[in-house]
Structure 1
Amino acid sequence: MLRWILFAVFVLIVELYAFQAVKTLTKIRWVLIAYQILSLLIVVYMFYSFATQFDRSVGQTKHTLFTIGLFLITYIPKMLLMVFMFGEDIIRIIGGFLKEFVGTTDESFLTTRRKFVSQIALGVAAIPFLSLLYGMTKGKYNYKLHKQTIYFPDLPDSFDGLTITQISDVHSGSLDNHHEIEHAINMINEQKSDIVLFTGDIVNTHAWEMNPWIEAFRKIEAPAFGKYSVLGNHDYGEYVTWPSQKDKNENFEAIKDLHRQIDFKLLLNENVKLKKGNDEIALIGVENWGVGFKQAGDLAKASEGVKDNDFKILMSHDPSHWEHEVKTHKSNYHLTLSGHTHGSQFGIEIPGYFKWSPIQYRYKQWAGLYENLGRYVYVNRGFGFHAYPGRVGIWPEITVIELKKASNVA
């Protein structure tokens, strides 16, 4: 009950300051009334949705995604308005003090400045509003192709030039546009890579979420070395309340079977050898292992039969696994492919120059390529989306990685 009271107080304060900004700019009665009615409807809808639609036995749905998106697109801009107007209130208090005791404050100047601050505040607030709106309508399907070449001195000769297409974090329960998904899958097929790897989170929670998308993802063409996948933290059904353990187990088995239905070989703490000519490399897939998340991954079991001097590609959904175990492991795991972070689905990225997202304060490796003593991890920014139904600045990603023999560097 306390959290709802605190939430209501927060909403009330934000709304009061936002209304003051609007009221400073216009005295037209019908505009102010329309603004108040719209704000009230949004508040009522959100309280209703948060109170009745967030069902722990169901988990994330398109309705809850919309509600979260509506909350963000409404209150991030209004919170910016509040910051500006609160700052102006502080200045006005100081001005009132000066007028009372010193007599140096011009009231007309204060009024003019209040209007100017409101104009600036609304202009600034328009930036996140328009960005979040774009992210929910277009940005979530603004697929970007990221290409990366990585050099290894001990890459077997036959695999010099091997290309890998990686996708991650499909979150099929959030997807809602078949045309855009078909376009993304066409992008995958156009790369003509030697192998396709999917690094987990095929659903938000339930196996049935993938049913409308099976035919589309089955169209991902099988290249020379095949299509392989691993599980992510959302694939275990950990974030809802189940009627029984039996229901949870059946859902988990159905999720694993989804990979078969889209013609991916699911690696469950196991490995396969990719052979070309007289050479081979080990492709190792662990179940989810993450700090603060389910740790079903067993690197030792997954690496059974793999020799220390074998060239190794590891699929592990959560990059914290690389940070906490893989990068310092006695056996050299040359390249780890991860996802999980989504790049927070929000940030600023200028390729080759600048990259920022709030997720970087949680994960050291959160998007792109990282290296430690010749061992690499690549973190895919994610194919789908979750929680916030959009993307701003950190766009959905299809990755193509080429492996090259270090001696071939010009």
Structure 2
Amino acid sequence: MPRWLIPLIILLVLIIVVEVYTFQAFKTISKSKLVRFSFLAISVATYVYFFLTVLTYDRSKGQTPEFQMAMGILLTVSIPKLVIIFMLFGEDIYRWIVKAISAISNGETQPLPTRRKFISQIALGLAAIPFAGFIYGIIQGKYNYKVLKYSLTFKDLPEAFDGFTITQISDIHSGSFTNKEKIKYGVDLINEQNSDIMLFTGDIVNNKADEMDNWIDVFDKLEAKGGKFSILGNHDYGDYMDWKNPQDKVDNFQQVKDIHKKIGFDLLLDEHRYLEKDGQKIALLGVENWGKGFNQAGDLQRASTNVKQEDFKILMSHDPSHWEYKVKQDPFNYQLTLSGHTHGLQMGIEIPGWLKWSPSKYVYKQWAGLYNEAGRYINVNRGFGYHAFPGRVGIWPEITVIELKKG
């Protein structure tokens, strides 16, 4: 038996279980053949469209908007079904308990109680919430840019940099974009922050440099009075492509690096720059991608060459796992690290001051927002663009503004 056949069989079994369970909810609340047929038709069409897209799209083009849309439709239809399954499975446990109690009490086997209509109605009502959320996320949520502002105080910050402001953006993923006016709006919103410097923390494309061709004239409008600096992310290396020959990948990587210069960013490749103000300075360091389980090209020691331990340091490192496993305990003391990468999985629930949850938290300890351990900070930007899923649900695209204060 081919090795790929077992996962396929498991997947098909899971799909059948999901569809049978979900169909029970529709069957309970409605006897209309039209309702039942519509449910089956939508489910079949979704799976056919997704698998045809996956099996036929050209992998040499990377992850295309067409592939992302197929993924988006699959998630929009499938996630609400998980809500229904959760509710009906809970009811099935209740039904079997009732059957068992009846059998023990009466000494004879009783038929399994029928499903209760109101449980199915509640399940479908709850499922409508994520269904509507995913539709909004695909149409508008991915452009629902949020400006998040933080003020951080450091005792060792040079006096001249008291009140210094940083705008951080991350994960542009230009190969996913389809609406130029919406992206222009996002760029204008970034410029409105009028920060001293602008820092971009990686993933300018999905895979290929030419994904940025139609967006150069948008992103070259980004402005910062004290300069714009950037690093690479895991997607910028072209590792997720089927290249026709190795040289194509090498050439593409150089073209990706060239993009940063075209839009006015100083790309730091395991390097640092000193920012000076009124005779005082802070160190800005940028490393290549280093991620747990991903490309680990970044060399923190090389980036720190000729930087003094007593210098105030801002580190740009795309993947927050770098901070967790290497940076935060480094005795060289990197006071502030800026990352991206996670996107907060582009879906979750956030109620400021009350709740912040996404499946991303089960993969990354630092997955969205600001974290502090022993006086060292990391901000994980939720990303400007989107990838894989062509939308955002609850985890909105982010523009971060950080003000440095002298303690």
TM (norm. structure 2) is: 0.94
Deviation for aligned residue 1:2: 2.4
Aligned to 1:207: 209
- Does the 8 Å contact 1:281/1:311 carry over to 2? yes
Aligned identity (percent) is 56
- Does the 8 Å contact 2:99/2:110 carry over to 1? no
Aligned to 1:310: 311
Aligned length: 402
Summarize the alignment of residues 93-112 of structure 1 with structure 2, pairs less than 5 Å apart. 93-96=96-99, 102=106, 110-111=113-114
1:206-255 Cα shifts (integer Å, max 9, x gaps) = 1111111111101111x232101000011001112211110000010010
Deviation for aligned residue 1:59: 2.5
Aligned to 1:5: 9
Deviation for aligned residue 1:49: 2.2
TM (norm. structure 1) is: 0.93
| Residue 52 (str. 1) matches residue 56 (str. 2) | yes
Aligned to 1:66: 69
Could you tell me which amino acid in structure 2 is paired with residue 232 of structure 1? G
Aligned to 1:129: 131
Q: CA 1:26 to 1:246, structure 2 compared with 1: closer, same or farther past 3 Å? A: same
**Aligned partners of 1:265 and 1:349: how far apart in 2?**
34
Q: CA 1:46 to 1:103, structure 2 compared with 1: closer, same or farther past 3 Å? A: farther
Could you tell me which amino acid in structure 2 is paired with residue 217 of structure 1? F
Could you tell me which amino acid in structure 2 is paired with residue 240 of structure 1? M
Summarize the alignment of residues 26-175 of structure 1 with structure 2, pairs less than 5 Å apart. 26-53=30-57, 55-96=58-99, 102=106, 110-111=113-114, 114-175=116-177
**Aligned partners of 1:114 and 1:106: how far apart in 2?**
17
RMSD between aligned residues: 2.0
**Aligned partners of 1:214 and 1:83: how far apart in 2?**
46
**Aligned partners of 2:218 and 2:179: how far apart in 1?**
11
Deviation for aligned residue 1:114: 2.1
Could you tell me which amino acid in structure 1 is paired with residue 89 of structure 2? F
Aligned to 1:278: 279
- Does the 8 Å contact 2:99/2:113 carry over to 1? no
| Residue 402 (str. 1) matches residue 403 (str. 2) | yes
Give 1:180's match in structure 2, choosing from 182, 186, 200: 182
Q: Indicate the SS of the match to 1:57.
A: helix
Deviation for aligned residue 1:299: 1.0
Q: Between 78-87 and 244-253, report the one with greater CA deviation.
A: 78-87
| Residue 384 (str. 1) matches residue 385 (str. 2) | yes
Q: CA 1:100 to 1:151, structure 2 compared with 1: closer, same or farther past 3 Å? A: closer
Q: CA 1:50 to 1:330, structure 2 compared with 1: closer, same or farther past 3 Å? A: same
**Aligned partners of 1:150 and 1:24: how far apart in 2?**
56
| Residue 334 (str. 1) matches residue 335 (str. 2) | yes
- Does the 8 Å contact 1:95/1:105 carry over to 2? no
**Aligned partners of 1:270 and 1:135: how far apart in 2?**
38
Aligned to 2:29: 25
Deviation for aligned residue 1:264: 0.7
- Does the 8 Å contact 1:98/1:104 carry over to 2? no
**Aligned partners of 2:334 and 2:97: how far apart in 1?**
62
Q: CA 1:33 to 1:103, structure 2 compared with 1: closer, same or farther past 3 Å? A: farther
Q: CA 1:90 to 1:405, structure 2 compared with 1: closer, same or farther past 3 Å? A: closer
- Does the 8 Å contact 1:342/1:385 carry over to 2? yes
Q: CA 1:30 to 1:373, structure 2 compared with 1: closer, same or farther past 3 Å? A: closer
Deviation for aligned residue 1:94: 4.7
Deviation for aligned residue 1:283: 0.9
Could you tell me which amino acid in structure 1 is paired with residue 85 of structure 2? M
Aligned to 2:298: 297
Could you tell me which amino acid in structure 1 is paired with residue 344 of structure 2? G
Q: Indicate the SS of the match to 2:84.
A: helix
**Aligned partners of 2:338 and 2:97: how far apart in 1?**
56
1:362-387 Cα shifts (integer Å, max 9, x gaps) = 21211111122222111111111111
Aligned to 2:247: 246
- Does the 8 Å contact 2:103/2:110 carry over to 1? no
Aligned to 1:269: 270
Q: Indicate the SS of the match to 1:197.
A: strand
Q: CA 1:383 to 1:17, structure 2 compared with 1: closer, same or farther past 3 Å? A: same
Q: CA 1:56 to 1:373, structure 2 compared with 1: closer, same or farther past 3 Å? A: same
Aligned to 1:347: 348
Deviation for aligned residue 1:261: 1.0
1:258-279 Cα shifts (integer Å, max 9, x gaps) = 1011111101111111111211
Deviation for aligned residue 1:88: 3.1
**Aligned partners of 2:266 and 2:318: how far apart in 1?**
15
Could you tell me which amino acid in structure 1 is paired with residue 17 of structure 2? I
Could you tell me which amino acid in structure 1 is paired with residue 24 of structure 2? Q
- Does the 8 Å contact 2:237/2:253 carry over to 1? yes
Could you tell me which amino acid in structure 2 is paired with residue 208 of structure 1? D
Q: CA 1:91 to 1:372, structure 2 compared with 1: closer, same or farther past 3 Å? A: closer
**Aligned partners of 1:237 and 1:226: how far apart in 2?**
27
**Aligned partners of 2:56 and 2:31: how far apart in 1?**
37
Q: Indicate the SS of the match to 2:13.
A: helix
Q: Indicate the SS of the match to 1:63.
A: helix
- Does the 8 Å contact 2:26/2:35 carry over to 1? no
Could you tell me which amino acid in structure 1 is paired with residue 366 of structure 2? Q
- Does the 8 Å contact 2:230/2:266 carry over to 1? yes
